[in-house]
């Protein structure tokens, strides 16, 4: 589990392409502290497992399913990526709960400045937009951001200078693809209260029975 608070920007040193998968070597510094084989590193929003490492880089394997669902097919030597180590129980949760299991991708449709803020608008599929709500949380390339507006076609976020300084967001231009992870809580609630789910119908009778009224 992660928080969406990026620790550093890593640099892709090599990409070894397989038939449908890839093996990536990433240069880093901060996330190398106390690293072990098997550690999880959120890389542009995707939870990847360290298979080997040196003093200043680590290697991960990327499965075909990850490549299909993400923008990883566009990564190449020299690409910059957002990195975050897994959450420890004693850490502050400065962003929101991020699993590193992305739901899909979105495209930058607009980018503009307003005083000290830079705004971004993204288009994505309706099946993702249903979980993206005004003032809710969304992870874009692993960055925890607050949604400023959302409709049936797109959503927008506004970024502070610190976020732009420590992430790759400012690298993006119109048409670029970013990985999206929707708020996991929304997905669980939908599952529990959908036909065939295990939840109870919430109505006035339910609230009264459970002493909420």
Task: Dump pLDDT digits (tens) for 49-85.
Answer: 999 999 999 999 999 999 999 999 999 999 999 999 9
Q: What is the largest CA-CA distance in the chain?
A: 61
Among 2.40.30.20, 2.40.50.100, 3.40.250.10, 3.20.20.105, name the CATH number for the domain at 104-192. 2.40.30.20
Nearest to 121 by CA among 163, 149, 142: 149
Q: Which CATH number fits domain 8-85: 1.10.3720.10, 3.30.360.10, 2.40.30.20, 3.30.565.10?
A: 2.40.30.20
DSSP state of 49: E
- Average pLDDT along the chain: 92
Q: Do domains 8-85 and 104-192 have the same CATH topology?
A: yes
| pTM summary value | 0.88
210 pLDDT above the threshold of 90: no
Residue 137 exposure: Cα atoms within 13 Å on the Cβ side: 17
Q: Give dist(CA 137, CA 12) in Å, integer.
A: 28
What is the structure's pLDDT at 200? 54
Q: What are phi and psi of 54, to 5 degrees?
A: -120, -165
> For 163-177, what is each residue's pLDDT tens digit?
999 999 999 999 999
What is the rounded CA–CA span in Å between residue 35 and residue 140? 25
CB 28 within 8 A of CB 57: yes
Helix (H, G, I), strand (E, B) or coil at 72: helix
Q: Cα separations (Å) of 188 from 10, 73, 191, 194, 199?
A: 32, 29, 5, 10, 10
- For the chain, the domains span 8-85, 104-192
**Secondary structure class of 193 (helix, strand, coil):** coil
Which string of b and e fits 55-78 if b means at least 16 CB within 10 Å? eebbbbebeeebbebbbbeebeee
């Amino acid at each position: 589990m992660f928080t969406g608070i990026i620790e550093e920007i890593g640099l892709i040193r090599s990409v070894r392409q397989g038939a449908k998968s890839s093996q990536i070597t990433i240069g880093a510094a901060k996330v190398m502290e106390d690293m072990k084989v098997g550690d999880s590193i959120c890389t542009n929003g995707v939870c990847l497992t360290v298979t080997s490492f040196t003093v200043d880089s680590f290697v991960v394997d990327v499965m075909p399913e990850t490549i299909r669902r993400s923008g990883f097919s566009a990564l190449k030597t020299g690409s910059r990526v957002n990195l975050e180590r897994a959450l420890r129980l004693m850490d502050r949760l400065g962003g929101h709960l991020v699993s590193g299991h992305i739901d899909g991708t979105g495209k930058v449709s607009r980018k503009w400045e307003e005083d000290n803020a830079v705004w971004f608008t993204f288009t994505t599929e309706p099946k993702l937009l249903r979980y993206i709500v005004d003032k809710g949380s969304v992870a874009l390339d692993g960055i925890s951001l607050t949604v400023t507006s959302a409709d049936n076609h797109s959503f927008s976020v506004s970024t502070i200078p610190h976020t732009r300084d420590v992430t790759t967001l400012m690298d993006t231009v119109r048409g670029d693809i970013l990985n999206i992870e929707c708020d996991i809580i929304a997905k669980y609630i939908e599952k529990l209260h959908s036909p065939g789910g295990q939840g109870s119908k919430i109505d006035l009778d339910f609230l009264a029975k459970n002493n909420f009224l």
